[in-house]
Amino acid sequence: MLLTKLRALWNPDQYQGWGRTRQYFEGWYFKVVSRDERHAMAFIPGISMGTESHSFIQVMDGKACKATYHRFAAADFVPSAKHFDVMVGHNQFNGQEIRLRLPDISGTLRFQNTTPWPKMLGAPGIMGWYSFVPFMECNHGIVSLDHQLEGVLQLGGKEVDFTGGRGYIEKDWGQSFPRAYVWMQSNHFETEGKTSLMASVAHIPWLGSYFIGFISGFWLDGRLIKFATYTGAKKHLELSDQHLTLVLRQSGKELRILAQQAPGTALVSPLSGEMTGKIQESLQASLQVELLDKGVRVFEGTGRNAGLEVAGAVEVLTG
């Protein structure tokens, strides 16, 4: 068990919950958008450990603003101990493909040219050295910032070809989602090649108090530009009913994001390991993004089909 835990620690994509039996959740988030962008969906497999432990697959249709929650027995959740591969019933999820056998949804989607978050000494994933802190309320990981899709899904009796579309994979694990957070993501920009942005600001409990932490990864021209609490970056966040403005600064670089909110979908979220919370997520938001380097604009563009969540008492995050 110790070797399995150590292997997982250095590979955040993998299942992290070895030895856990209560007040724990773990879930992966597979976002898929068809080539014509008429279909934007998220498939969220996971495990919930609490008074009613069970596994699940949550399906979000971002265009129709609908979601379904497929509940399975806890024993139906079978993770690999050696690499990222998870079975939930007859459904399979890993970094190369997903195979779905759900009511009204079936088929296989394969992922090509995935873009994993780079590993560094002392920083196995997006959380940097916080990856080694054992009491974090919620941990975050990026499996692939961007990749191409290949395959067909049967959706309610209709065949939908996702070949040529784009995908994104991340995950969360721990006890609960933060009591307040914002999260945004898009890899649909007008630029040629891979461009992908993910950013989040959250209330993080810490040794009897809390701090406002943030992480962002901007994949541009084959390199990852990071802004995070642990890198010494600074943030400024403003919120209104329809917009969110986030500015991140570090080492002469400045990332400006203006997020336009859009109709969302109600999703189930974890509270102390139980899937009893509720959040709203949109897959129809847009992100106006500008990157400056020493005052010179090096990127400007708008991300489409953006995921956007604004959850909890977000006023604590502003400033």
Q: Residue range 155-170: average pLDDT?
A: 97
Please check the confidence at residue 86 and state whether its pLDDT lies above 80. Answer: yes
| pLDDT digit string, tens, across residues 190-221 | 987 799 999 999 999 999 999 999 999 999 99
Q: What is the pLDDT of residue 225?
A: 97
Q: Residue range 246-267: average pLDDT?
A: 97
Residues 6 or more apart whose Cβ sits within 8 Å of residue 225: 217, 218, 219, 253, 255, 291
Q: What is the pLDDT of residue 122?
A: 84
Task: Please name which of 175, 21, 124, 16 lies closest in space to residue 80, comparing C-alpha atoms.
Answer: 16
Residue 115: pLDDT band (50, 70, 90) is very high
Count of all residues that appear for the chain in the document: 319
Average pLDDT along the chain: 96
Residue 229: pLDDT band (50, 70, 90) is very high
The answer to whether the CB of 287 falls within 8 A of the CB of 186 is: yes
User: How many angstroms separate the CA atoms of 153 and 176, rounded?
Assistant: 32
Q: Residue range 296-311: average pLDDT?
A: 98
The answer to whether the CB of 95 falls within 8 A of the CB of 13 is: yes
Q: What's the predicted TM-score (pTM) here? A: 0.97
Please check the confidence at residue 150 and state whether its pLDDT lies above 80. Answer: yes
Both tokens of 316, joined, read 């604590």
The answer to whether the CB of 14 falls within 8 A of the CB of 80 is: yes
- Burial state string for 101-113 with b = 16 or more CB within 10 A and e = fewer than 16: ebeebebebbbee
> Cβ atoms within 10 A of the Cβ of 148, count?
17
Q: What is the pLDDT of residue 120?
A: 86
